[in-house]
Amino acid sequence: MGPAAAVQELGWYALRFVDQLGKLTVFAAQILRALASPPVRVRVFVQAVFDVGVLSLIIICVSGTAVGMVLSLQGYNTLVRFGAEQSLGAVVGLSLIRELGPVLTALLATGRAGSATAAEIGTMVATEQLDGLRMMAVDPIDLVVAPKALAMTVAMPLLSALFITFGLFGGYLVGVGLMGIDGGTYMSSLQSAVDFRDDVLGSLLKALVFGGLVGLIATFRGFTSAPTSAGVSAATTSTVVVASVCILLFDYVITALWGV
Amino acid sequence: MNLTPDAAGADVHVALERVDMAFGDRQVFRGLSCAFAAGKVSVILGGSGSGKSTVLRLIGGLVRPQAGHIFVAGEDVTCLSERQLYGVRKKLGMMFQGGALLDSLTIYENLAFPLREHTSLDERAIAAAVHRRLDAVGLTDVDRLLPSQLSGGMLRRAALARAIILDPVIVLCDEPFSGLDPVSVKRIENLLVQINQRLGITIVLVSHHIASTMRMAEHVVLLLQSDDHHPGTTAVAGSPEELRQSSDPRVVAFLTDECDDGDARAADVAAGNT
Amino acid sequence: MTRSPLRDFIVGCFVLAGLGAIAYLSISVGGLSYGGPGGLNLYATFDQTGGLKPRAPVVIAGVKVGQVTSITLDQNARARVDLDLDKSLKIPTDTSASIVTSGILGDRYISLQLGGESEYLKPGDEISFTESAVILERLIGKLIHNTDTAPAKTEGQ
């Protein structure tokens, strides 16, 4: 490939990126309009929360506990060299609340619920179910897309909070039960290090942003997938890839901007 | 609604005027014009890839043409926004090739769904309306089944029941016979004719199934792609009889080719005629 | 979409559990209940805060009773540390505040030693007796200077 062709290729990718970004923005606006205008689809939303939130519960709780346990173990082994093992609670708590909780929850939810959402909507495109809705004068964005995107946004902070709580519990188990740190020391170190406004609120904000991102990307990829089985699988894969990268990029941006 | 075919003959329900349509680089139609009369069963014929299904999607406003006008029940759907289209679509029922029933809902819920969306009927009236349509298409005891639990023929009938649930004036059917056994083909065919005759609903269907087309159609539109001698997409229209007696070599070629197309179709014809 | 009592119940439980976790993190871990309006706000000035941070705990006899809200430089170039304490506490006027460290390198916090006066500090008052933070490096430096001054000066340059 000559240099001109390479530049041409680059230009093509850049154009396609901008094109996709524009379509995504329009899509997001359509979702917001659908949410703001009647009818309010409570039942569909509850079902979506069930699919996204409840079905992700086990993986979130188990992963949270495991991450808390390993953080506690690693933290203890490092801190004990400086004789600062009484700060273990702070280390575990701050890492979980500020960073690992929202990010890992979002990544896990992307793999568990985001891919499922993209596949479900993609299948509905492939089997003409969404066209069927449009022919029945029902907006598929209003009925199918918006409740799923909203459910993801709402469920993410809840899942993240559960992840963190289970992580703190796992950290406590290892730190207090295994390493013999005093339980009161662990908790007081945790409580004095963690601030509601700076840490907890920021953590929830991060989770909320990630939830919106994953919901938007998953529904967009499903909605715009090619109406074939290959299209559905491509939509699923690209949801996981794009959403994961976006979560990590936005994590940096949020941290840099708001110091969360 | 016109109940007598004669009176309906003068009344054009759906018309395409000089429509250009392309998907990306692939040109499907150039300058296509055709019309479908009210109260009649019209069939769109054409080779694979001739854009038969695209005509239905254009009529429903699901895709938009690059140029031309499409009139449905007096309104030009090419000029309407998605929201305005909803008004037109309430007068249309569409039966998709794969049924397109919502696979997370039971058959009953699928049929009840349009009523819940667009009418203020109470549960009892909805149940009555749903069962009336299911009876009409000959389905019983399927209320609690999911679409995935139905056979192909039953699925088509359920889809047809949903297409007529809101009392449309036009029903569009995309390949209602494809992949069905001869008995099911005959059954769907009879149902469509019944719906047309009893309710006076205009039916536009797309099929490559020549035998059933020639039996049931009152009006046939044959789509022929442009070639060296004929620029643009041509629509040859007429009654089945007129088409059979056509001297246009392309029409003759299409009809004979398709009729000889494999044993399966010959078997369909045989079964359909018994 | 139909009602499904079991599904609705499970979703309800999920939302409650999530909100419970948020509440736990906010109140118990994040200390949301602490330092609300109407708390007892006092301040103290120190020569050296030595790495004391806002939100550091304030303890009496090892029990946390409040936290540091802000650390600023006053007009005399001393550090003014604002404290927010439990408003039910009665702090005698001759109470002293000292900045201490948990462990050798641990976090700094403020310890209050209650005095014996019968008069109590009111919100906005100053705790006038203070003991600044001990800077470990400075202590070590002094130690080296006192024991081995001359060689350190000549060889160090």
Q: What mean pLDDT comes out for the span C51-75?
A: 82
Same domain, B173 and B83: yes
Strands C108-113 and C96-101: antiparallel
- Per-residue pLDDT band for B9 (boundaries 50, 70, 90) equals very low
Domain span at B115: 101-167
Query: Is A83's pLDDT higher than 50?
Result: yes
Those chains having 3 or more beta-carbon pairs within 8 angstroms of chain A are: B, C
* Amino acid A102: pLDDT: 94
Q: What mean pLDDT comes out for the span C37-62?
A: 79
Q: What mean pLDDT comes out for the span A240-245?
A: 94
Percent of chain B whose pLDDT exceeds 90? 0
Same domain, B81 and B175: yes
Let me know if residue A33 belongs to a domain: no
Query: How far apart are the C-alpha atoms of A204 and A212, rounded to whole Å?
Result: 12
Same domain, B76 and B134: no
Same domain, B87 and B112: no
Using an 8 Å CB-CB cutoff, list chain A residues near C109. Answer: 192
- Per-residue pLDDT band for B273 (boundaries 50, 70, 90) equals very low
- Per-residue pLDDT band for B266 (boundaries 50, 70, 90) equals very low
Query: How far apart are the C-alpha atoms of C90 and A184, rounded to whole Å?
Result: 26
Let me know if residue B96 belongs to a domain: no
Residue B274: other Cβ atoms inside 10 A: 6
Q: What mean pLDDT comes out for the span C52-73?
A: 82
**What is the tens place of the pLDDT at every residue in B169-228?**
888 888 888 777 888 788 888 888 888 888 888 888 888 777 777 888 888 888 877 666
Let me know if residue A214 belongs to a domain: yes
Chain-chain contact of A191 with C32 (C-beta, under 8 angstroms): no
Chain-chain contact of C107 with A87 (C-beta, under 8 angstroms): yes
* Amino acid A260: pLDDT: 64
C41: distance to nearest CA of chain A, Å? 19
Query: Is A38's pLDDT higher than 60?
Result: yes
Chain-chain contact of A138 with B117 (C-beta, under 8 angstroms): yes
Same domain, B186 and B263: yes
Domain boundary among B119, B144, B167: B167
Query: Is B268's pLDDT higher than 80?
Result: no
Domain span at A59: 42-258
**What is the tens place of the pLDDT at every residue in B142-167?**
888 888 888 888 888 888 888 888 88
- Per-residue pLDDT band for B271 (boundaries 50, 70, 90) equals very low
Let me know if residue A21 belongs to a domain: no
Check if the beta carbon of residue A100 is closer than 8 Å to that of residue A120: no
* Amino acid A68: pLDDT: 93
Same domain, B73 and B200: yes
* Amino acid C27: pLDDT: 78
* Amino acid C104: pLDDT: 60
- Say which range, A139-148, B2-11, B28-37, B204-213, has the weakest mean pLDDT: B2-11
Nearest CA in chain B to C2: B109
- Say which range, A11-15, B141-145, C137-141, has the weakest mean pLDDT: C137-141
Chain-chain contact of A82 with C105 (C-beta, under 8 angstroms): yes
Let me know if residue B131 belongs to a domain: yes
Domain boundary among B111, B143, B167: B167
Domain boundary among B140, B167, B194: B167
Query: Is A113's pLDDT higher than 80?
Result: yes
Chain-chain contact of B60 with A135 (C-beta, under 8 angstroms): yes
Let me know if residue A111 belongs to a domain: yes
User: Over chain A, what is the mean pLDDT?
Assistant: 89
What is the number of domains present in chain A?
A: 1
Task: State how far the alpha carbon of C20 is from the alpha carbons of A104, A209, B199, in Å.
Answer: 20, 20, 58
Same domain, B66 and B176: yes
Chain-chain contact of A41 with C24 (C-beta, under 8 angstroms): no
* Amino acid C152: pLDDT: 45
Q: Which residue in B57, B87, B117 is closest to A136 by CB distance?
A: B117
Chain-chain contact of A83 with C3 (C-beta, under 8 angstroms): no
A42 in B contact zone (CB under 8 Å): no
Nearest CA in chain A to B167: A136
Q: Which residue in A41, A50, A168 is closest to C11 by CB distance?
A: A50
Let me know if residue A110 belongs to a domain: yes
Nearest CA in chain B to A126: B100
Q: What angle do CA A222, A226, A232 make, to 5 degrees?
A: 50
C117: distance to nearest CA of chain A, Å? 30
What is the number of domains present in chain B?
A: 2
Same domain, B229 and B153: no
Let me know if residue B66 belongs to a domain: yes
* Amino acid A159: pLDDT: 94
Let me know if residue A227 belongs to a domain: yes
**What is the tens place of the pLDDT at every residue in B51-100?**
788 888 888 888 888 888 888 877 888 888 888 888 888 888 888 888 88
ipTM of predicted complex: 0.79
Q: What string of DSSP letters covers A60-98? A: HHHHHHHHHHHHHHHHHHHHGGGT-GGGHHHHHHHIIII
Same domain, B109 and B26: no
Using an 8 Å CB-CB cutoff, list chain C residues near B105. Answer: 1
Query: Is B243's pLDDT higher than 60?
Result: yes
Chain-chain contact of C106 with A87 (C-beta, under 8 angstroms): yes
Chain-chain contact of C103 with A84 (C-beta, under 8 angstroms): yes
Q: What mean pLDDT comes out for the span C119-133?
A: 83
CA quadruple B114, B120, B122, B126: dihedral, nearest 10:
-30
Using an 8 Å CB-CB cutoff, list chain A residues near C63. Answer: none
Same domain, B109 and B180: no
* Amino acid A216: pLDDT: 94
Instruction: Scan for tokens 């979002």, then name that residue.
Output: A106
Strands B12-23 and B26-37: antiparallel
CATH of the domain at B184: 3.40.50.300
User: Over chain B, what is the mean pLDDT?
Assistant: 78
Q: What mean pLDDT comes out for the span A118-125?
A: 93
Same domain, B82 and B34: yes
Using an 8 Å CB-CB cutoff, list chain C residues near B109. Answer: 1-2
Those chains having 3 or more beta-carbon pairs within 8 angstroms of chain B are: A, C
